[in-house]
Amino acid sequence: MAAGLLLGPGLLQAADGNYPVSSIASHLKENAHAVVRKYETVFTVKSPAETVQKTHLVITLLHEKAREYAELTIGYNSQLDKINFISGVLYDSYGKPVEKLKNSDLMDVSAVSSISLMESSRVKIGRFKHFQYPCTVEFEYEETTTATKFYPRWHPQLDMDVAVEQASFQVVMPAGLELRYREQNLPGTKAAIQNTPAGKVYYWELENIPASEKEPHSPTFMETTPVVYTAPTDFEMGGIKGSMRTWEDFGKWYYQLNAKRDQLPEEARQKVIRLTAGIQDPVEKVRKVYEYMQGHTRYISIQLGIGGWQTFEAKTVAEKGYGDCKALSNYTMALLKAAGVTSYCASVMAGSNAPLAPVDFPSSHSNHMILCVPMPKDTIWLECTSQTEAFGYMGGFTGNRYALLATPEGGKLVRTPTYKATDNLQQRHIEVTLDASGDAVAEATTVYTGLQQDEMEMVINQLSPEDQKKYLYKSVSIPSFDMDKFSLTRQKGRIPAVTEKLSLTVRKYASRSGTRIFLTPNLMSAWSSVPPPVENRRTDVVTNMDFIDTDTVVYHLPRGFGIEFVPEKVEISSKFGSYSAAMEARDGMLTYTRRMSMHKGRYPAATYPELVEFYRKVAKADKMQVVFVNKGL
């Protein structure tokens, strides 16, 4: 296919007869909910300040599970983008037209989120009404934008359960502008580059990509499927020209975009000076300012045009008491400046499963702003959008990834804090009083730290006491129990901790048979998730978190009962982690201790059976039983 291919202007002109389902190769239907028949994207760079993208997508929906692909959604910024046209046709399984999108079928709605005061974000939505599976949908649309720091990412396989029959990607660059691109997982296909009098045309094409089933403990979907990332060298946003040739260049543009917006009203500046007067320790000074900011602001997103990337001024936050992530980070930077402390705003891709920024490929890879405070012995990172987050803690939302500092000298790509196993603890102590019928009462105290407390922190700060109790009922893995009392408290710190206290009445936890009681001593931490075997595994094995869990459970036995059988100590070791469990009987008590440690890592696919075996042994050990006997009968 020629590198200079351009899309035709209309639908219903497909040379292959409007895509009958019968023409799909059988191997593309295996494991598939849908099949992309054609996915053509042409991205044309008009200038550093304007780009146009035209998309032609045809996808066959094999059954109801693919329903989501029948709806077209195009997000855009009403101040920076323009949707030039949208058209769509629905075909039956034979390829005959059933329905065509009309203007009345297209919705144009605000994408303002519940935490936003104002946004220029909108969404165009196109929906068909008449469905009978299998069927095929065809969409064509064109977008123009002046937000030219964003070039497209070509990822034609929409999900693991979607096959691709044919897809192509074309980038048209004018003379004098350079395209930067990064190819990943392309099966032997590289860019075809054609020189023209007007510039260069880059072209990629893929065919016959089968659907596949997700493998347990696999890398992210984006890491294992064909992708082409593109990015500009020179761009322009809001009239400010920038370069993305290096991270230093990109950070310099961001710094210039937001320069001189950290000026505070004199009253606010004097308040900070009084607040930090007499504090010699710079860390304590930063803490004081951060906690002041948390107590006097709230997060509200305001995303209007270039304002999606340019902060409003610190004096506005001081006067209004609210701002988005950029504004609150910039405001905190201004407060620290008044206190004599230097800090830098840092853009980062936030989210618990967010991909790491490609160190070797400068690009607009961020959705959030945090604050970095360099110190002689340490670096302090501040999440400025939360009124409850612990000082200096990033957690799973922004920890262990790269952030781009915006400094006067340019951008600096730096790593946010990484949390070790000794930071991410679950330490549990339970006192259990068992009666002769097998019922029990238990007092359980669990301390979660680091990443293991992240979810509990949200439970404390976002749920009502009633909903907290419902959450705890779902999370406690005991078959039949009542929760008589509970409490949750959080201790802030660079490694924060949540203490959970539960008073439980457990029904028939131990089973009685004649004079004997059979008990599984692991009351609350039994491991039950053993991944299934996978033949001919394709992907690496990924474990996502370093952590250590420890349990001590003390059982007070019913009067007259003694120990008849106690299992031997169990110790399990592998490259993925380690496990030990032991029991000790003494003076009418049984003490059960357990420790499980896991390593975060990425391992070759061939190691997967070893991971399955490790988890299988742990699950088996967690089911060990002790036998008590009534010695008085």
The model's pLDDT over 364-376, given as tens digits with 9 standing for 90+, comes to 888 899 999 999 8
Task: Using a pLDDT cut of 70, give the percent of the chain over it.
Answer: 94
Per-residue pLDDT averaged across 384-392, rounded? 95
pLDDT per position as a tens digit, 243-272:
999 999 999 999 998 999 999 999 999 999
> Do residues 446 and 397 share a domain?
no
Report helix angle 465-475 to 454-462, nearest 10. Answer: 150
- Is the residue at 5 inside a domain? no
Mean pLDDT, all residues of the chain: 91
Per-residue pLDDT averaged across 512-525, rounded? 95
Confidence band, pLDDT 50/70/90 cuts, at residue 114: very low
| pLDDT at 12 (0 to 100) | 42
- Is the residue at 406 inside a domain? yes
Indicate whether 623 pLDDT > 70: yes
> Do residues 527 and 615 share a domain?
yes
Rounded to an integer, what distance in angstroms lies between the CA atom of residue 193 and that of residue 173?
A: 11
Q: Which of 11-25, 102-116, 253-267, 515-529 is predicted with the least confidence, judged by mean pLDDT?
A: 102-116
Tell me the pTM.
0.90
Rounded to an integer, what distance in angstroms lies between the CA atom of residue 468 and that of residue 477?
A: 16
Indicate whether 14 pLDDT > 60: no
Q: What is the CATH number of the domain that holds 469?
A: 2.60.120.1130
Q: What is the CATH number of the domain that holds 297?
A: 3.10.620.30
> Do residues 406 and 432 share a domain?
no
Locate tokens 């975009």: which residue?
Answer: 257
Higher pLDDT, 4 or 416: 416
> Do residues 411 and 431 share a domain?
no
Structure tokens belonging to residue 550: 């420890």
Rounded to an integer, what distance in angstroms lies between the CA atom of residue 159 and that of residue 163?
A: 8
Question: Do the Cβ atoms of 252 and 240 come closer than 8 Å?
Answer: no
Confidence band, pLDDT 50/70/90 cuts, at residue 307: low
Confidence band, pLDDT 50/70/90 cuts, at residue 312: confident
Residues 6+ apart with CB under 8 A from 135: 60, 61, 70, 90, 91, 92, 93, 98
Task: Measure CA 576 to chain center.
Answer: 23
User: For the chain, how many structural domains are there in total?
Assistant: 3
> Do residues 482 and 614 share a domain?
yes
Locate tokens 């262990």: which residue?
Answer: 400
Indicate whether 411 pLDDT > 80: yes
Could you say which of 352, 386, 415 is where a domain stops?
415
Higher pLDDT, 504 or 112: 504
Question: Do the Cβ atoms of 142 and 57 come closer than 8 Å?
Answer: no
Q: Which of 253-267, 344-358, 428-442, 499-513 is predicted with the least confidence, judged by mean pLDDT?
A: 344-358
Task: Using a pLDDT cut of 90, give the percent of the chain over it.
Answer: 80
Confidence band, pLDDT 50/70/90 cuts, at residue 501: very high
| pLDDT at 376 (0 to 100) | 87
Single-letter amino acid, residue 481:
F
Question: Which residues partner with 585 through β-bridges?
Answer: 590
Sign of CA dihedral 168, 169, 173, 178: negative
Indicate whether 506 pLDDT > 90: yes
Question: Which residues partner with 421 through β-bridges?
Answer: none
Indicate whether 207 pLDDT > 90: yes
- Is the residue at 16 inside a domain? no
Rounded to an integer, what distance in angstroms lies between the CA atom of residue 264 and that of residue 337?
A: 10
> Do residues 607 and 487 share a domain?
yes
Rounded to an integer, what distance in angstroms lies between the CA atom of residue 306 and that of residue 148?
A: 11
Could you say which of 397, 415, 433 is where a domain stops?
415
Question: Do the Cβ atoms of 124 and 107 come closer than 8 Å?
Answer: yes
pLDDT per position as a tens digit, 39-75:
999 999 999 999 999 999 999 999 999 999 999 888 8
Indicate whether 115 pLDDT > 60: no
Helices first, then strands: H and E counts in the chain: 11, 39
Indicate whether 110 pLDDT > 90: no
Q: Which of 71-85, 118-132, 133-147, 446-460 is predicted with the least confidence, judged by mean pLDDT?
A: 118-132
> Do residues 197 and 253 share a domain?
no
- Is the residue at 420 inside a domain? no
Structure tokens belonging to residue 621: 């050990």
- Is the residue at 144 inside a domain? yes
Residues 6+ apart with CB under 8 A from 104: none
| pLDDT at 120 (0 to 100) | 58
Higher pLDDT, 354 or 406: 406
Q: What are the distances in angstroms from CA 420 to CA 344, 449, 545? A: 25, 11, 8
Sheet with 344-348, side-by-side order of all strands: 379-382, 368-374, 344-348, 402-407, 410-415
Task: Measure CA 472 to chain center.
Answer: 24
Confidence band, pLDDT 50/70/90 cuts, at residue 188: confident
Q: What is the CATH number of the domain that holds 201?
A: 2.60.40.3140
Per-residue pLDDT averaged across 600-619, rounded? 97
Could you say which of 355, 385, 415 is where a domain stops?
415
- Is the residue at 43 inside a domain? yes
Confidence band, pLDDT 50/70/90 cuts, at residue 4: very low
**Residue 142: CA count within 13 A, CB half-sphere:** 13
How far from each other are the two terminal CA atoms of the chain, in whole angstroms?
Answer: 89
Indicate whether 531 pLDDT > 60: yes
| pLDDT at 245 (0 to 100) | 95
pLDDT per position as a tens digit, 336-373:
999 999 999 999 999 987 777 788 999 988 889 999 99
| pLDDT at 239 (0 to 100) | 78
Per-residue pLDDT averaged across 158-176, rounded? 96
Question: Do the Cβ atoms of 248 and 410 come closer than 8 Å?
Answer: yes
Report helix angle 266-275 to 325-338, nearest 10. Answer: 60
> Do residues 259 and 191 share a domain?
no
Indicate whether 303 pLDDT > 70: no
Per-residue pLDDT averaged across 73-87, rounded? 86
Question: Do the Cβ atoms of 592 and 506 come closer than 8 Å?
Answer: no
> Do residues 433 and 376 share a domain?
no
Domain that holds residue 445: 425-630
Confidence band, pLDDT 50/70/90 cuts, at residue 165: very high
Per-residue pLDDT averaged across 114-123, rounded? 56
Indicate whether 79 pLDDT > 80: no
| pLDDT at 9 (0 to 100) | 44
> Do residues 166 and 189 share a domain?
yes
Per-residue pLDDT averaged across 207-230, rounded? 93
> Do residues 324 and 442 share a domain?
no
Indicate whether 459 pLDDT > 70: yes
- Is the residue at 315 inside a domain? yes
Q: Which of 201-205, 542-546, 561-565, 579-583 is predicted with the least confidence, judged by mean pLDDT?
A: 561-565
Supply the DSSP symbol for 33. Answer: S
Per-residue pLDDT averaged across 200-222, rounded? 94
- Is the residue at 4 inside a domain? no
- Long-range contact pairs involving 575-584 (C-beta distance under 8 Å, separation at least 24): 575/599, 575/601, 575/603, 575/607, 575/610, 576/543, 576/601, 576/603, 576/610, 576/611, 576/614, 577/543, 577/614, 579/614, 579/617, 579/618, 579/621, 581/522, 581/621, 581/622, 581/624, 583/521, 583/626
Residues 6+ apart with CB under 8 A from 262: 313, 314, 330, 331, 333, 334, 337
> Do residues 436 and 524 share a domain?
yes
Rounded to an integer, what distance in angstroms lies between the CA atom of residue 277 and that of residue 212?
A: 62
Confidence band, pLDDT 50/70/90 cuts, at residue 111: low
Confidence band, pLDDT 50/70/90 cuts, at residue 543: very high
